Amino acid sequence: MSENGKNFAGLNVASFESRRGKEMAMLIEKFGGVPHVSPSMREVPLQENQPAIDFANRVITGQIDIVILMTGVGFNHLLAAIDRKVDKQRFFDALSDIVTITRGPKPVAAMREVGLTPTIKVPEPNTWREILQTIDTEIHIANQTLVVQEYGVTNASLVAGLEARGAIVESLHVYDWDLPEDIGPLAANIQKVIDGDIDVSMFTSANQLNHVLKLAERQGQLEAFSAALRGTVICSVGPTMSERLRDLGYPVDVEPVHPKMGPLVATAAERSKDILVRKRQIRAVLKETTKVALNKDAPWYNSPFLKACRREPTDVTPVWLMRQAGRYMQEYREVRAKTTFLELCRNPQLCSEVMCTAVNKLGVDAAIIFSDLLPILQPMGLDLEFAKGEGPVIHNPIREAADVDRVLELESTDSLHYVMETVKQTRADLPADMPLIGFAGAPFTLASYAIEGGGSRDYVNTKTLMFRDPGAWRELMERFVRAISRYLNAQIAAGAQAVQLFDSWAGALGPDDYRRYVLPYVKDIVAQIAPGVPVINFATGNPALLPMLAESGAAVVGVDWRIRLDVAWETIGHNIAVQGNLDPVSLLADPIELRRRAKEVLDQAAGRPGHIFNLGHGVMQQTPVDNARALVDMVHEMSQRK
């Protein structure tokens, strides 16, 4: 009997739990699921582990200052390794005299079994980030000899963070991981996923995923398994597991507030059925959309813009301008004088007209649909108004964790039909060989508008909710991930050849906060976009975020003007295309200065395939149209390949 209506309703649930497999199967059955549990790994203690013995003796002789115990089973393996080699009581007495840090409840329980109490307990979700944050608030580790008891593999991020804080870090390896001795059940579960017989896939450790993929690869099934796995509801026990999934390009559909097996199964039981319906609907759309996106005979396929997105050589550097249809153009101002901004956004014919006018006037190599970042908020329950002279205003902003429940799921894009009609109309009105770009606001920027109620200088309300209630923040961001993914894929299905994520306010965050609170959700969006369709990931305001923009999986990273393009590309990596990055104010300069600045950007790109010329942000209202047109001509002229 399930709890509080949480029920898998007969869904087939795969788990790769090893040590607690029986418990996992019972939980899945308790919540109405059909369990398919197969062990994925086994712990292999190191034989004659001399480093463990040496470590114990160094603890006894006072040579170790701090010990971090990552797992309970690892602590037990350590004790087994030193058994009959070291006086255990002396070891326990010495260990109790130094600082011991435990990650999660299991190493705490293992220590208590031998009469020890840890000095510091790291709080949930017990990732390496919480370890570092706890250390920062509890102790100083500079110049201290610190030993990390590993669990299978070295956590390079943790070691780097400890070393950055001045510690002398050593790793203690106490056991290895290997595939189960009997791989039959695991191989059978892999085949069930491939055959479409699994609805929900659960992972409680990164090593489970590593071993499943290892066996799939050994059997020549990796590609088929990975594709099929993405079609299941992918459930992660917590942030560390989620990070590993996203690093390998898998979306995370379910993650409980508390990183434990029980909450994982309960949360999955509550949400999996609805998620599965959405995923199957989206996959049906993506299947057809992908055929079109990968059609090499399409007139736009070998356009300079799309070739640059694929980092293929082009005869000329492609150029388009953010906000290329806007208030700086007389034709746009005439249209706007007759209607409000939101009414314009809801009129596909007018939206196509203003964009096609701009494209024809400027001679750019790509068009972007005329719309705005914020209309998606209205069907999600937020009261949006574009107030005259004030810009966008949300009259019912999110301020408390409970307010997140007011944000509705975007179950379909029917309420945004006018955007899809704009895509269709613009695609029909453009030259057949010109690519059309769709777009959406990135989740942090949409969340910031929804929380602040409009623009902000310091984003204090957004950051307060983000820092104070990570669970509410995760729920809000996951709703935006689902909405944005559906919205962008609908634009692609309607006729867009590429999509751009605009993270206009991401510069308000430092790198650590962006990585923790934003990057996982951007990765999820990119992973859910129709394969073959380039995603441009653009964030403005903080060049230190560029490495993480590249980690998102996007084909192109947009670069603003606050960093040289060559430095940015080196930072991002030359295996990713870049877009940018002329300062928009350059368009107010005289032609000689404008040409000099454009040439600087082109020179920094050095003719490397994969550069899309653009501004570092949108065209400013004061820009003379002739200057914008001249810039496009200059870029084409100076980048012409001979």
Residue 331 identity? E
One domain for residues 143 and 254: no
- Looking at residue 131, which CATH number applies to its domain? 3.40.50.10090
Pick from 269, 290, 311: which residue ends a domain?
A: 290
Residue 2: predicted pLDDT: 53
DSSP 341-392: HHHHHT-HHHHHHHHHHHHHHHT-S-EE-S--SSGGGGGGT--EEEETTTEE
One domain for residues 157 and 212: no
One domain for residues 453 and 388: yes
Residue 98 identity? I
- Looking at residue 372, which CATH number applies to its domain? 3.20.20.210
On whether residue 3 sits in a domain, the answer given is no
Instruction: Using alpha carbons, select from 473, 477, 2 the residue that is nearest to residue 262.
Output: 2
Q: How far is CA 552 from CA 525, 526, 549, 615, in A?
A: 9, 7, 5, 22
User: How many independent structural domains does the chain possess?
Assistant: 3
Strands (E), 104-144: 120-122
One domain for residues 212 and 165: no
**Which candidate in 42, 58, 90, 336 is catalytic?**
336
Query: Is 18 annotated among the ligand-binding residues?
Result: no
Any catalytic annotation for residue 449?
A: yes
Residue 190 identity? I
Residue 321: predicted pLDDT: 98
Yes or no: say if 15 and 269 are a contact pair by the CB < 8 Å rule: no
Host H or E run for residue 338? none
| Structural domain for 259, as ranges | 12-41+179-290
Query: Is 449 annotated among the ligand-binding residues?
Result: yes
On whether residue 6 sits in a domain, the answer given is no
Q: Alpha-carbon Rg of the chain, whole angstroms?
A: 27
Residue 152: predicted pLDDT: 63
One domain for residues 54 and 119: yes
Q: Compute the CA torsion angle 22, 24, 26, 32 (nearest 10 deg).
A: -150
On whether residue 186 sits in a domain, the answer given is yes
Query: Is 641 annotated among the ligand-binding residues?
Result: no
Residue 602: predicted pLDDT: 98
Q: What is the pTM of this model?
A: 0.74
Query: Is 617 annotated among the ligand-binding residues?
Result: yes
Pick from 149, 178, 207: which residue ends a domain?
A: 178
Pick from 290, 324, 350: which residue ends a domain?
A: 290
Instruction: Using alpha carbons, select from 309, 386, 329, 343 the residue that is nearest to residue 619.
Output: 329
One domain for residues 383 and 409: yes
On whether residue 135 sits in a domain, the answer given is yes
Query: Is 504 annotated among the ligand-binding residues?
Result: yes
- Rounded to whole angstroms, the Cα distance separating 186 from 414 reads 42
Query: Is 231 annotated among the ligand-binding residues?
Result: no
**Which candidate in 129, 246, 323, 346 is catalytic?**
323
Query: Is 325 annotated among the ligand-binding residues?
Result: yes
One domain for residues 54 and 197: no
Structure tokens at 251: 């979306």
Host H or E run for residue 175? strand 175-178
Structure tokens at 345: 């956004």
On whether residue 5 sits in a domain, the answer given is no
One domain for residues 522 and 470: yes
On whether residue 96 sits in a domain, the answer given is yes
Structure tokens at 130: 């919480």
One domain for residues 201 and 95: no
**Which candidate in 372, 513, 566, 583 is catalytic?**
372
DSSP 405: G
On whether residue 411 sits in a domain, the answer given is yes
Residue 396 identity? N
One domain for residues 173 and 187: no
Instruction: Using alpha carbons, select from 241, 230, 153, 162 the residue that is nearest to residue 196.
Output: 230
**Which candidate in 42, 90, 165, 327 is catalytic?**
327
One domain for residues 630 and 511: yes
**Which candidate in 250, 328, 449, 521 is catalytic?**
449
On whether residue 298 sits in a domain, the answer given is no
Which residues of the chain register pLDDT less than 70?
1-5, 151-153, 285-286, 389-390, 642
∠ Cα 68 71 72 (to 5°) = 115
One domain for residues 635 and 552: yes
